Structure formats: C-alpha cells, structure tokens
Chains A and B, each alone.
Chain A
Amino acid sequence: MTVNGTAHDHDVEPRTLLVQYLREACGLTGTKVGCDTSSCGACTVLVDGESVKSCTMFAAQADGASVTTIEGLADGDRWHPVQQAFHEHHGLQCGYCTAGMVMAAVSLLDEVPEPTERDVRLGLEGNLCRCTGYHNIVKAVLAAAETMRAAR
C-alpha cells in the first residue's frame, strides 16, 4: 500500500489490523489506539481519501490502497489548514484524540466543504474527546473550512 505517498511492502499476518501495521511495520506512531473497540475514533486515518477507524480494518483490506496518516498531512513544514486551525483555536488539551480528530475533520471537509456547526458536530460523532468538551474543536474545524474556502 502507499502510505503518505511512500510505497510500503510487507508480508503480514492476515489478522494484522491496519493501525498495527501503520504503527509497527511503518513506524508511524502518530495514529493512536484509544478504545480498541471501534468507538473513539483516535485511530482514524484516510483510506483512499475517506476516514476509517484503523483499529477496525485489517491491513490486508487496505492492500493497494492509498493511506494518509497525521504524519502525511503537512506540506513540508507548512501545516494543513486543519492542523493550523487546531493550533490557533486550541482544539486540544492532552492531544490523545487529536490525530484522529484532525483526520476525521479533513475527510469531513472534503465531503462537506462549507459545513454548518451542526454538520461539524454530526460529522465528528465518531470521535470522542475526554478533555476539550468539543467546543474549540468545532471552532477549529469551522475556521479551517473558512481558510480552505478562501484558498479555493
């Protein structure tokens, strides 16, 4: 599979989960395991541009796909607008949910480029945050949408 634009080729056991593959075979530990039961979204990555919970997918299912993790978002040393907005609007506290939250937001903004606050709240329903109360996360995603709209 291609991960963040780089081809990766490993033989893995069929039961290897995508998140394990990314963290252990590719060494990309930005993607976190939170609940390990498909609920929290901390493990969210993009597979062919769409958000998925990488704890609930086998690496073999992503064979040949293009996977993007948090490490692959920035353009050199320029952050992705969603990363920038999380920074500016303080969309995180402990940061554990953040990689998944950012990836889910990137996928959401791809599907709904001009979201309302409700669209953002519903669009991130698969991602849990124990710290922020979501307020600043929603603010950050709306701000990122605005930045991306202005750039189009």
Chain B
Amino acid sequence: MTTVQNLDRLEERQARHTLSVQSLSKSYGEGADAVEVLHELDVRVEPNEVVCIVGPSGAGKTTLLRCLAGLLPPSSGKVMLGDQEMTEPLSEVGVVFQDYSRSLLPWMRTKENVAFPLQGRGMGRSQRMALAEQCLDAVGLPAVGRKYPWQLSGGMQQRAAIARALAYQSEILLMDEPFASVDAQTRFDLEDLVLDLRKRLGISIVVVTHDIDEAVYLADRVVVLSGHPATVVDVVDVPFGMDRDQIDTKADARFTEARRRILNEIRH
C-alpha cells in the first residue's frame, strides 16, 4: 500500500454553508435523573475551515458531534446549517465515526461500502462504483476495493471510512477521534490527508480529538470544552493557513504557545 493520493479526479465541492450551534444544551435522561452534559454552547464552522474540538474524556465531545450531525436532538438551542435549522441528518454533512471498524458493513466489500450511501440517493451502479473507485484512490487505497473491511488494517479501514464520506459528496466532514487507534506514522499520514482534502476540495472539516498536538496541527480554530456540564472555555485561533508540515509547523513557537494555552485550560 502506498499513501500516494489522487485528488485530482475528485470534483471540488466548495463548502457554502456555515454549520453552527446556538446556545446548545443537551441533557441525557428524564426528569429528576436528567444529567446536563452540554451547557449553552456556541460553535461556528465557517466554509472551508478546519475546527477541532478538544476536551477531557467524558466532556461531551461525541455528544456535540452527534448533535452537529443531526443524529441527536438538542435539549435546547439550535443546530443550524446556513440559515436552515437541522432536525435530521442532511446530505451536506458526512460523518466519520470513532469506531470505524464497526461502522463499515462487514458483509459488503470495501468498494460497495463506499458506494452504499450513493445507492441510497438513487445513483446507478456503474456510476457509483466509478465514484467509489475514485474516492478510494483519493485516500490512498487504490487496490483494496474488492476486499472486505475486516481484511484491511485499522488505518486502511479508517481511510475507507473517509472515502465513503467523500463519495457522499458532502461539503462538511465531521470526524470523531478519527485517528485514535492507529499507529503514529499512519496518524501523521491521515492528518496530512485531512489537510489536503480541505485545501484541494474546499470542504469544511470538524475533528473531535483527545490529542492537543493533533488539534493545533489540523485546526484553524480549536474549541476547548471543559467542565460538568461542558461549556466552551476558549476558542484558540491557529494562524498557520492551508499549508502545514509535520516538522516545521510543530516546531513553530506559535504552535507551542497554543498548545500550552489549551493544556492549561483543560487541566483546570
């Protein structure tokens, strides 16, 4: 397997909509047992932006992402795509789940998995297979379409899940701890893939992560969640633009500064 990516054949799908939550609160449970997990959050994801959401374990990051995806109704407040309120998953938003190994369907070959959401849209077989092929190509998996997901390594499965989100042609990509269980090298490759996708396709990307280095490396803005219930304690702007580099960017003084600031906020 090589990591050579071929984004050239993919269409641009320049993000047009801002995805945002407005004083979003979410509680689990009913009545006296209700536990508030998120308290009055305001988060905006502008077109073509990468926003990272960091916070300690159990802070409510997955909860926020599922609200952003339209999978979970907020207890109060709103999720907005442009000026439309989101009450169910929309085709503008694609999701890559934390548990990629369970999110690919084990009874379908990898290419069929990638093409499956397109079938739901009524796209013809040859057309969707061709697009699936291109998307697998784009994430550096040109030769595995006929294999089943369980025949792929963890990193390859994660790429396949990203390819499926790309094939769905959404303009906003939501990723929940996408690289938490791959080795460090694969992780760097996938981070660079994310940056590449943003730059070349013009999509917006939201990444939930535990890893502060990863957040600062990927993001234009880092949203820091903390507390019980979680609130937005800080939004850190990261001024590195579209072109970043695993070594030079991470050695930059501004990188270290942003990292220190976020670490302090999460500890307290």
**Real binding pair:** no
Q: Which residues of B does A touch, CB under 8 Å? A: none
Q: Which residues of A does B touch, CB under 8 Å? A: none
